[in-house]
Amino acid sequence: MHRVGSAGNNTNSNRPRKEKRLTYVLNDTADTKHCAGINCLAVLKSSASDGCDYLFTGSRDGTLKRWALGENAATCSATFESHVDWVNDTVIAGDSTLVSCSSDTTLKTWNCLSEGTCTRTFRQHSDYVTCLAAAEKNTNVVASGGLGGEVFVWDIEAAATPVSKSSDVVEDDCSNSMNGSANLLPISSPRTISSSNSIRTHATQCHGYVPIAVKGHKESVYALAMNGSGSLLVSGGTEKVVRVWDPRTGSKNMKLRGHADNIRALLLDSTGRYCLSGSSDSMIRLWDLGQQRCVHSYAVHTDSVWALASTPTFSHVYSGGRDLSLYLTDLTTRESLLLCTKEQPILQLALHDDSIWVATTDSSVCRWPAEGRTPQNVFQRGGSFLAGNLSFSRARVSLEGSTPAPVYKEPIFTIPGTPAIVQHEILNNRRHVLTKDAAGSVKLWEITRGVVIEDYGQVSFDKKKEQLFEMVSIPAWFTADTRLGCLSVHLDTPQCFTAEMYSVDLNITGKPEDDKVNLARETLKGLLVHWLAKRRQRHGTQASANGDVVSGKDMTARSSAHSRIEVDGNAENDSLVYPPFEFSTVSPPSIITEGSQGGPWRKKITELDATEDEKDFPLWVLDCVLNNRLPPREKTKCSFYLHPCEGSAVRILTQGKLSAPRILRMHKVVNYVIEKLVLDKPIDSLNIDGTYAAGLGGQPQHSAGGEGSLRSGLKPWQKLRPSIEILCNNQVLSPEMSLATVRAYIWKRPEDLVLNYRMIQGK
């Protein structure tokens, strides 16, 4: 299972500190659709009679969206973007606070009616946060549960105070927490939900607000529910039992056994007497908490039950899950009815007046008829069956082919999404990525611009990959994944700085054709061009008035001291972004990264406001874009021997090993050989590093081609040039092949590359 990387090492660790990563997430459509499965739903009813209702959706793409609902219409009115992994659940606390939880181990609070501003991030959990529960009448109380058996109860009013940063967290330096990894949060108000002395909290409190820790689960928690007043909390998970708690103190009330597998969904009635549970054992159970026993079992589904929603009176339950089916069950008469079937497993349900919103592993959300106010009317249509109390009874009926027909064939309305990317392949040129989405559409992305450059439609992914194969070797300077349903590109230092190309190969005009372009550096400049522009607006006036320029030495000192980074005025082209690295402003990518404080964050590149600094960005990123400084890199050069072909009368004066950039093309090696043949003496300016070779014969290793006399076009002597070809392993090499390509595809040995030259026959 995918894990989010640690925000940093423990203070006492002797291991070298791992540099933080920068990720950018690409999207080729407008920011009004989800691009991955919908994990959670929440409906906000308007208090005014003529007001607009809102639907909130949380997705595996890491974002939440707010939909303004009209009659058979929905408009995306805001995107809430800050989580860096799947959004797993969301609840509305009070009238205007949206609370979300994520696989990035955080809870976040938002203003429901804002433009998407995160007001606070909580990092108490040490693993994925899977579920939330809110008390309808006590609007302050929210519970969170997750993997590792952690359950916390929060007072949102005490804990959620606005912050101004995109990273939206102010954390302290205390490392003593219940699990040794989650930081305690400094909150202005120390108020807790109850003044009881038995409140369970972390053993060590640094300062500020700490939620109540509900301790007792030994395994992962997947479901929570709370009664209206917030006086009762139920939880369930892989332990197969329903646990009942007093959330005001964190104390255990009871434990209910009966399910045979993971409990995935829970509901409590408003009084807290009855509880409904849905499990991976395919059963729905009704519990009487006063009697502490299961009073009914409903064998409705043929596979795992993942979602439950009840009518306001708790008389009927809607259920969905892995069997792709939505059922309505009368809890008293045990009558069940198949309302509809989906093409994907059902993950979440939300009743809305006389309809129900259904979320699945698809990126779209459907609204179906439900008769939520008068569910008994649906049963008058006929087609119902009596739910058994043993799970195998429904499974047997299904196997016999007597599955009931669904009441509804089509939804009332569908909010469409973008099909999630399910397959990808990084091509050999290390600039293009081929993707295939859930609808079977194959596209070609240019990741240095973040755009789709070719949409092939529904074609064979493997055949298209073969067609696009190029015999070229470029270092793997980035990695990619599609966990969020879209293409995420990861940059890690120093590996990301290993790939270079000549400007002529990138079609960059106005730049010497043999200037080397570092792909990661230019990509970072393209991603942060808006941040840099706003930064100059903020600091430019003061800097020009003072006339001060910070030196590289000062920059190093300040970087090591984790102080403010300043622009090095001597950095060449520190802001110029070349066309191959210009990112779209229509569908701008989002950055996911973290600095020295606050943990990971996510934001669109066009929404960076220039207040971000080393507390938000990794220092290596700032050093690159502000000072054009790159970390030490390995394997940027390739060593090789250059010998005449066996039996060839053509020889040049060269001994020992030569060295040149990995990207050096064979036609440069041809030029080198020709130059040595035509001229009587070695060419001093061949050294790539700008130093002069004293003569090829006396040096054990020399540099060849590309940066000196071989890059300045044809010289007078070249008009009389002989025709030379270069071979490797007796194979004639294309003039456009690089040293790295020859080594990877022709030479195929760990030893230093050996090239041979000869006069072209017949010339």
> Domains in the chain, please, with CATH?
18-32+418-536+582-634 (no CATH), 34-157 (2.130.10.10), 635-679+720-762 (3.10.20.90)
pLDDT of 498 strictly over 60 = yes
pLDDT bin (cut points 50, 70, 90) of residue 723 is confident
Cis, peptide link before residue 494, omega less than 30° from 0: yes
Share of the chain above pLDDT 70, in %: 78
Residue 760 has a pLDDT of 81
Q: How far apart are CA 140 and CA 661, in angstroms?
A: 62
141, 158 Cβ separation under 8 angstroms: no
Cβ count near 73 (within 10 Å) = 10
pLDDT of 10 strictly over 80 = no
Residue 116 has a pLDDT of 87
Residue 201 has a pLDDT of 31
CA atoms within 13 A on the CB side of 225: 27
Q: Which of 293, 325, 289, 330 is nearest to 306 (CA)?
A: 325
Average pLDDT over residues 607-635: 89
Residue 724 has a pLDDT of 87
Average pLDDT over residues 312-328: 95
Residue 150 has a pLDDT of 94
pLDDT of 352 strictly over 50 = yes
Distances (CA, A) of 446 to 210, 430, 442, 575, 657: 46, 9, 14, 21, 37
Which of 131-135, 399-403, 508-512, 699-703 has the lowest average pLDDT? 699-703
Residue 50 has a pLDDT of 63
pLDDT of 551 strictly over 70 = no
pLDDT (tens digit per residue) in 562-579: 333 333 333 444 568 899
217, 149 Cβ separation under 8 angstroms: yes
pLDDT bin (cut points 50, 70, 90) of residue 184 is very low
Cβ count near 427 (within 10 Å) = 18
Kindly provide the b/e burial profile for residues 599-633, where b requires at least 16 CB atoms within 10 angstroms of the residue's own CB.
Answer: bbbbbbbeebeeebbbebbbbbbbbbbbbbbbeeb
Sign of CA dihedral 550, 555, 559, 565: positive
pTM over 0.75: yes
pLDDT bin (cut points 50, 70, 90) of residue 181 is very low
pLDDT of 460 strictly over 70 = yes
Kindly provide the b/e burial profile for residues 205-225, where b requires at least 16 CB atoms within 10 angstroms of the residue's own CB.
Answer: ebebbbbbbbebbeebbbbbb
pLDDT (tens digit per residue) in 186-214: 333 323 333 332 323 332 233 378 999 99
The residues with which 101 forms a beta bridge, in sequence order, are 89, 107
346, 372 Cβ separation under 8 angstroms: no
Higher-pLDDT residue of 288, 597: 288
Residue 81 has a pLDDT of 95
Residue 716 is given by DSSP the state G
Q: Which residue has the tokens 């430019």?
A: 540
Distances (CA, A) of 163 to 121, 208, 210, 592: 9, 15, 18, 19
Mean per-residue pLDDT over the chain, rounded: 81
Q: Which of 205, 241, 249, 194 is nearest to 222 (CA)?
A: 241
pLDDT (tens digit per residue) in 43-94: 998 877 667 899 999 999 999 999 999 888 899 999 999 999 999 999 999 8
